Amino acid sequence: MNRERDYTTLEILSIGIKSEIEAAKLYAHMKKMTDNSVLRNKFDFLISQENMHEEILKEAYEKMFKDVELRIPSTSPVPLLDDILSGNPSLKELFEVAMKAEKMAEKFYGEMAKKTTNSGSMSLLHYMAKMEHSHYALLEVEYEQLEKGADIDSDDFLRGNRLMNLGP
């Protein structure tokens, strides 16, 4: 029987911190790949979210494991940036990777929340899962625009400069 691995609280927090660091690095890389000011602002938002989540998880770690030095794992259940970038992917491909990573992180946090009996840990993990879900939704909207508007200057499009007049 194929049994899912059970993680310790220490491992969950360490993996979460690694995941947030990797996500912030991915969004910073993606931001460099576009001149679209609206999209760059979205990446800034996502970077700030991932940095904030890293700090929340580090704070939880320090409260729970005061005497244990934080060791960020070299591997993670979510994709690692160096592995992703080795293939020189396009921005569209990076969106796909980022959306997949957000889904994986949401699933990881959600599954870990179901397994814990500590109400504080459960609350934190549910919060993290929901935040990852919201990041996925934001990426999905931008990805759809990227797919639809390959020949449209998206700064103009997103500001409504290319919308038709509707009405009588």
Cβ atoms within 10 Å, residue 66: 7
pLDDT in tens, 12-48: 999 999 999 999 999 999 999 999 898 999 999 999 9
Q: What is the DSSP string of 21-63?
A: HHHHHHHHHHHHT---HHHHHHHHHHHHHHHHHHHHHHHHHHH
* Residue ranges with strand state E in the chain: none
Flag whether 3 is in a domain: no
Flag whether 58 is in a domain: yes
> Taking the model in full, what pTM does it have?
0.82
> Residue 126 contacts by C-beta under 8 Å, 6 or more apart in sequence?
109, 110, 113
For residue 30, give its domain range.
Answer: 9-72+90-149
The number of distinct structural domains making up the chain is 1
Q: What gap in Å lies between CA 102 and CA 139, rounded to an integer? A: 9
Residue 160 has pLDDT above 60, yes or no: no
Q: In this structure, what DSSP letter does residue 2 have?
A: -
Q: What gap in Å lies between CA 148 and CA 130, rounded to an integer? A: 27
Flag whether 79 is in a domain: no
Tokens 């927090």 identify what position?
Answer: 13
pLDDT in tens, 143-157: 998 888 654 444 555
Cβ atoms within 10 Å, residue 144: 11
Q: What is the CATH number of the domain that holds 66?
A: 1.20.1260.10
Flag whether 57 is in a domain: yes
